[in-house]
Structure 1
């Protein structure tokens, strides 16, 4: 790819993001605007914004890279990502919106009437958010290096600067506009080049390179345990992602939250067709990327390789713009959710506290990203899903649907899941221990049931700690509201 074209693509998408973010500043004045957009975001806008922040580096680059490496075994990722939203629709969306909370710690404190639960939840949410931001910054580093030849750290730093500017400018109100725009940019950036590639291969034209072997790596297929564990992580992990859950607080009512989730399911189903296509085409025409340790670059490199010429450069620039939009939108959503937690629990709330917390939320993971090497994007994000499925998810599901949950049970479950899953992640990934057993490499199949079991066992052993406000809160969570008359 021509480096000048890559730089122009990054500059254009950054300027567009900043412009939309500063537009949000004109209509963001109250604390409610900054935290939850004053709960006025309609289903289609909110669904587009959720698609923008949920479809991260793992979705845009990592899914295609895993399919390049593993073939059909990697299809569990798009299936799990999409099916996780079905779980949200069935079990979480409407009750969470009815809770009236700004953040997940707000919800757990109100449900269990406990400041201790709030503090533990806040720590877990911040850890989850930072773990999730790091792969986005790694993806930006990879994109900058591939498309422009600049040092990798420039990509990570650019994402943090743009995100800080947009979040500080207008908070959730501003980011909603930004993320909705970025979803449609990402969809276009994947769809248009892959359609050109398909027409080139199917028509009279010839690809710039000849097809290679269908199995580029010879990797052994994943076993049943790995597939089941991955699916558990993706299904239950979606329920605990702070940047996704905070979106449901922005809907006007529970009915709108359900409609939003249903629309998201449709948008995700369409989107994941295209990374899958890139991965399959890459197995034929770019197998050396798998052998050279750069499978995540397949989406960035295929248009220029198979189309070639000026058209290939322009299509590559579009892909780069879409990739950068993915890093910006997901990081923005995570920073907003973390800033809400940190500002309320540490800085006393308010707009000024939110802005300071947003800067802290973005700068800390930048340090980790610069000091660490990029792993396979989808794989590293899958581990984050396993961690949140083992910590936030049990407390959220049981808090909504089980009257017997206590503060002691919630804390015990989060600590158990965090220690077990975090320990497995450190052993298998950070320490890079040779011969790591498969049940540590994919821990969700046993850490999630363990967290649920400990939560239930300790809650039943501490029945006397069931809060007196339980009946009132549960009634509020499960009593449908009347949809707003203005909703379409």
Structure 2
């Protein structure tokens, strides 16, 4: 049994055991949905870290840094900075709302079942959009480390999560996610420290295009267009530009088409061809702000900052965590600890992505840059040490998939379960829990099916699209719902509909590869800079035009949201 198999099994067993422990303690509906609102800030912060640090954080950030360099640093910066906005704007008031889910908050604030249903639909859409790259990342991990078939990784994640979630709901996964955060942190910390020690004895600073550090055979699974920045002689077996080749071939600078099943053997100091969708920058440009090689980098960076920072407060699986705290003060403490944990964690994929640019540049040839942290240990160390370090990284990656998918499954199943039973407060307890468990199956099955059909884009890029949809829909709803007493149900519905339609259209264009070149492609690829303001504007203007629909209890609810809660006896 390989080291990677052992570590994956250990992480899976830990998750299932935590679910079994949760089953023994999950006796009420509150246990399943919000862990009886009794989670302390330290446990909750670690659980949020476990849930929030997804495939995009564990694998995607390092892959983006390998490909895009300095400009990709906005991803970890904004993933962390989003919590500062969450802390300042919504954390404590949201906890005081008394809601279980975002649709609950929408109905409490606006007294509208229509807005509640719309919010519920968005929770499901965002949850599924976020889950697809997690399951695709699981497939990438097992296929990279174990040469397993593409369908296995996502299926294994779904089965383990289903057991844990249906056993004890939120109570069971809170403990599991807290443990999974530390697994992820250690799984990157140890390799980062070891590989930095190896790097400082092996290499110098380069300024040109990435070159191979040794002999490596790169298989091309499907027909691929690549670019070479300079003329280079490479060993190729298969087809190049439609003609069969088998041996050394001189490739001129420019674009070339490699046929499916072709293998490219790179030798030491060979310039690495780059797949057409990635930039072929030098190390100097790679280290320069706005030097990533993407079209209109300033616009793309500003839009990414807006979408990720504001999208954090609209992620359903993150927001539901603040309902599990004892009171609003603990919600703020939880957010502060989360910021500290995230700041420490994101240093690690940044280091590994930087090392990957030098030691695994061949990933630029296939575009599989998300495999950077998976392949780096064996490439730099080799031998048993490299194998076991790679297995440790694999364990961390699987912990990332399991923890994030667990939180998303609870959020999506909570909304779907309410749709099955209607008024949750009046439905029998046994029916409510049964509907939650059935909904968890549906919540996992659909994104798993989608993950099998989705072309492998950058994991962090796909997750950023989910952030943009959340920023364009739930962010305006929460900010205006908490801080503006004139928001109406008509305004909220119109804003979410417009923001959701625009952002989802842009996301689908990006996912299907239908986005055009030039400015139109940049605008669709990073739409937050225009979809978020439009959503806010529509929500405000329609609310002003429908002022007679302001809920009669709006002032009373606003006072409730902003009045500090009395400390809970025996609370922390």
Same fold (TM over 0.5): yes
Counterparts of 2:195 and 2:32 in 1: how far apart (Å)?
42
Q: Which residue of 1 aligns with 2:190?
A: 192
Counterparts of 1:26-37 in structure 2, within 5 Å, are: 26-37=24-35
Deviation per CA, 1:64-107, whole angstroms, max 9, x where unpaired?
00000000100000010000000110001000000010000000
For 2:561, the equivalent position in structure 1 comes to: 477
Aligned runs of 1:86-485 on 2, under 5 Å? Answer: 86-203=84-201, 209=213, 217-218=280-281, 220=293, 223-348=297-422, 349=424, 350-435=432-517, 436-485=520-569
Structure 1 residue 485: deviation in Å?
A: 4.9
CA displacement 1:32-86 (0-9 Å, x = unmatched): 1001000000000000000000000000000000000000100000010000000
The SS at the match of 2:25 is coil
Separation (CA, whole Å) in 1 of partners of 2:31 and 2:328: 19
- 1:204 CA displacement: 8.4
Contact 1:214 1:284 in 2 (8 A): no
Separation in 2, partners of 1:396, 1:117: 13
Q: Name the SS of the counterpart of 1:152 in structure 2.
A: coil
Native 8 Å contact 2:273 2:364 kept in 1: no
> Does the Cα contact within 8 Å between 1:239 and 1:389 map onto a contact in 2?
yes
Q: Report if aligned partners of 2:137, 2:459 keep a CA contact under 8 Å in 1.
A: yes
1:134-167 CA distance string (max 9 Å, x none) = 0000000000100111101100100100000000
| TM alignment of 1:62-77, pairs within 5 A | 62-77=60-75
TM-score by length of 2: 0.82
TM superposition shift of 1:197: 0.5
- Report the Cα distance in structure 2 between the residues aligned to 1:395 and 1:380, rounded to whole angstroms: 23
Contact 1:209-1:306 at 8 Å conserved across structures: no
For residues 453 and 20 of structure 2, the distance between their equivalents in structure 1, rounded to whole angstroms, comes to 31
2: CA distance, partners of 1:120 / 1:59: 29
Question: 1:214 Cα deviation (Å)?
Answer: 12
| CA–CA distance in structure 2, aligned partners of residues 142 and 448 of structure 1 | 32
- C-alpha distance in 2, partners of 1:192/1:205? 20
Higher gyration radius (CA):
2
In 2 relative to 1, CA 252–62 (structure 1 residues): closer, same or farther, beyond 3 Å?
A: same
CA RMSD of aligned residues (A): 1.9
Distance 1:142 1:68 in 2: 17
The structure whose residues are more often helix, as a share, is 1
CA distance in 1, matches of 2:513, 2:379: 36
- Residue 79 of structure 2 corresponds to 81
Distance 1:424 1:204, change over 3 A: closer
The answer (yes or no) to whether the contact 2:472–2:503 under 8 Å persists in 1 is: yes
What is the CA distance between 1:284 and its match in structure 2? Answer: 1.1
Give 1:425 shift: 1.7
What's the CA shift string for 1:230-287, capped at 9, x where partnerless? Answer: 0011011001000000000000100000000000000000000000001111111111
Deviates more, 1:422-431 or 1:189-198: 422-431
Question: Whole-Å Cα distance in 1 between the matches of residues 437 and 26 of structure 2?
Answer: 13
**Cα contact 1:94–1:257 (8 A) shared by 2:** yes
Q: What's the CA shift string for 1:405-448, capped at 9, x where partnerless?
A: 00000000000001111111222332434425211111000000
Cα separation, 1, equivalents of 2:202 and 2:113:
67
TM (normalized to structure 1)? Answer: 0.96
Number of matched residues?
A: 485
Structure 2 distance, partners of 1:191, 1:48, is 16
Could you tell me whether the CA contact under 8 Å between 1:339 and 1:354 is conserved in 2? yes
Distance 1:432 1:354, change over 3 A: same
Q: Which runs of 5+ in 2 are unaligned?
A: 205-211, 215-267, 275-279, 282-291, 425-431
User: What are the within-5 Å matches in structure 2 for residues 13-32 of structure 1?
Assistant: 13-32=11-30
Question: 1:203, CA displacement in angstroms?
Answer: 4.9
Structure 1 position 7, deviation (Å): 1.7
Give the match's secondary structure for 1:251: coil
Structure 1: 5+ residue stretches without partners: none
Q: Report the Cα offset of residue 127 of structure 1.
A: 0.4
Which runs of 4 or more aligned residues in structure 1 lie more than 4 Å from their structure 2 counterparts after TM superposition? 203-206, 208-216
Q: In the alignment, is the contact (CA less than 8 A) between 1:67 and 1:280 conserved in 2?
A: yes
CA contact (8 A) 1:256 1:483 kept: no
8 Å CA contact retained: 1:406, 1:463: yes
Distance 1:107 1:431 in 2: 36
Once residues 508 and 152 of structure 2 are traced to their aligned partners in structure 1, the CA distance between those partners, rounded to angstroms, is 27
State the distance in 2 between where 1:423 and 1:28 align. 40
Q: Which moved more, 1:254-263 or 1:209-218?
A: 209-218
Counterpart contact for 2:417–2:436, Cα < 8 Å: yes
CA distance in 1 between partners of 2:123 and 2:25 (Å): 28
Which residue number in structure 1 is paired with residue 262 of structure 2? none
Q: CA deviation at 1:209?
A: 4.6
SS in 2 for 1:484: coil
Identify, as 1 or 2, the structure richer in strand. Answer: 2
Aligned residue in 1 for 2:286: none
